[in-house]
Amino acid sequence: MRTSTALAVLALGLLVVPGAFGTRTYSDPAGDSGPAPDITSVAVSHDDAGFVTLAATTNQPTLSPDALFWGYFDTDRNTATGMQMKGLGADVIVISDGSGGGLIGHVNGIWIEIDFNAALTTSFANGVFSAKFNRNVLGTTDRFRFAVQSELGNGDGDSLGSDDAPDGPPGYEYSFVPLSLTVSAPVATPKTPVSGKRFVVSAAVTRNDEQPFAAGSVTCTARAGKVALKPVASAGSGAARCAMKVPKGMSGKTLRGTITVSAEDSSPVKRAFSFRIR
Ligand SMILES: [Ca+2]
Ligand SMILES: [Ca+2]
């Protein structure tokens, strides 16, 4: 009995597939690649087995044998170190044609040292180029900048077209640290809600990955006395906001509410506010 329980637990354990964490997607414009694969989005994630996966979505369902993908990784986010490429100081470069393997190179001064020990697997299916490699290829950094490039050659070493994602500096940025938000105490405009007037509550939001809080999910609740309001939530420019109209005849009552903010896979952060209506 004990044995069968142990086996059952083992079987359940084997069913657990390492999950992908911290998936971030980045966009690139369509129609900027010439005949090369047109990258429109790039997704990066990592898993608890220590692997990083990069997936570039393109407009080409099958890949020409003369097409290549390049990944440029600025692992120290320092343009003064590594190779000056794509507005980055690329310290690690990945090259692949999507047929399974590829090369990982470490930039060392003017040399690129090929990392023959690095486990790199790549694929191209349904328009998506994927590269998976061990996180330790990037050293011990907990965040990095990167860019991806597709290129189509003519078989004789001449480039027929390419697509840079992103189009220019400073590259995309990825963090291995789980995303968390800091939401400051809400402030009001005007400072005091007025009966019959518009009223906005906003809270400054910062991300722990040094990226601007440009988008997110915001939920607002508000009530003036016992009257439920219909606040309109918005996010961007480093703040979350709840805009509402205070009903008439509410002078002296209290306007209470909450603002709840999350971004990507962060946990939601809730702040309460309370103001006396004038
Ligand atoms: Ca593109
Ligand atoms: Ca660098």
pLDDT tens track for 36-82:
999 999 999 999 899 999 999 999 999 999 999 999 999 999 999 99
- φ/ψ region of 209 (left if φ > 0, alpha if ψ in -120 to 50, else beta) reads alpha
Tokens of 185: 């105490």
6 has pLDDT over 70: no
Instruction: Return the higher-pLDDT residue of 98 and 40.
Output: 40
Residue 53 Cα to ligand 1 middle (Å): 20
- Span from the CA of 85 to the centroid of ligand 2 (angstroms): 10
Task: Tell me the C-alpha to C-alpha distance, in Å, between residue 81 and each of 76, 86, 109, 112, 173.
Answer: 8, 13, 8, 13, 17
Quick one: pLDDT band at residue 155, thresholds 50, 70, 90? confident
Distance 253 CA to ligand 1 centre (A): 54
Q: What is the pLDDT of residue 273?
A: 97
Question: Do 85 and 112 meet the contact criterion of CB atoms below 8 Å apart?
Answer: no
d(CA 169, CA 12): 46
Question: Element (H or E) spanning 73, and its range?
Answer: strand 67-74
CA pair distance 37, 233, nearest whole angstrom = 38
Indicate the pairing of strand 92-96 with strand 67-74: antiparallel
Ligand nearest to the CA of 75: 2
pLDDT of residue 210: 86
pLDDT at 16 over 90: no
Q: Is the pLDDT of residue 14 over 50?
A: no
Please give the distance, rounded to the nearest whole angstrom, from the Cα atom of residue 132 to the centre of ligand 1: 21
The predicted structure's pLDDT at residue 176:
95
Whether 9 shows a pLDDT value over 70: the answer reads: no
Among the bound ligands, name the one nearest to the CA of residue 92. 2
User: Where is pLDDT greater, at 2 or 104?
Assistant: 104
Q: Please tell me the distance between residue 75's alpha carbon and the centre of ligand 2 in angstroms.
A: 6
pLDDT for the residue numbered 18? 57
User: And the tokens for 100?
Assistant: 């399974």
Q: Residue 70 in contact with residue 94, Cβ under 8 Å?
A: yes
**Are 256 and 250 contacting, i.e. CB atoms less than 8 angstroms apart?**
no
Higher pLDDT, 19 or 16: 19
Give bridge partners of residue 259 from the DSSP assignment.
Answer: 220, 271
Given a contact cutoff of 8 angstroms between Cβ atoms, the answer to whether 127 and 55 are in contact is no
Tokens of 265: 């896979």
Cα(156)–Cα(149) distance, integer angstroms: 19
Q: Residue 5: pLDDT above 70?
A: no
Q: Name which of 82, 253, 264, 259 is nearest 171 in CA terms.
A: 82
pLDDT at 113 over 90: yes
* The model's pTM: 0.81
- Of 58, 7, 6, give the one whose Cα is nearest residue 30: 58
3-class secondary structure, 136: helix
Cα-based angle 45, 51, 56 (whole degrees, multiple of 5): 45
CA of 30 to the centre of ligand 1 (A): 4
CA 91 / ligand 2 centre spacing (Å): 5
Say if residue 148's pLDDT is above 80. yes
Is the link from the previous residue into 212 a cis peptide, with omega within 30 of 0?
no
Q: What is the CA radius of gyration of the chain?
A: 25
pLDDT surpassing 60 at residue 10: no
Q: According to the model, what pLDDT value does residue 15 have?
A: 44
The pLDDT score that the predictor gives to residue 2 is: 44
Distance (Å) from CA 155 to ligand 1 centroid? 22
- pLDDT above 90 covers what percent of the chain? 86
Q: Could you give all domains of the chain from N- to C-terminal order, each with its CATH number?
A: 18-175 (2.60.40.1190), 181-276 (2.60.40.10)
Residue 191 predicted with pLDDT over 90: yes
pLDDT of residue 101: 86
Task: Give pLDDT, residue 17.
Answer: 46
Residue 66 CA to ligand 2 center (angstroms) comes to 29
> Tell me, what's the pLDDT at 205?
98
Q: Is the pLDDT of residue 168 over 70?
A: yes
pLDDT, tens only, 209-251:
988 999 999 999 999 999 999 999 999 999 999 999 999 999 9
Residues with CB under 5 A from ligand 1 (ion): 28, 32, 38-39, 163
Separation of 156 CA from ligand 1 center, angstroms? 24
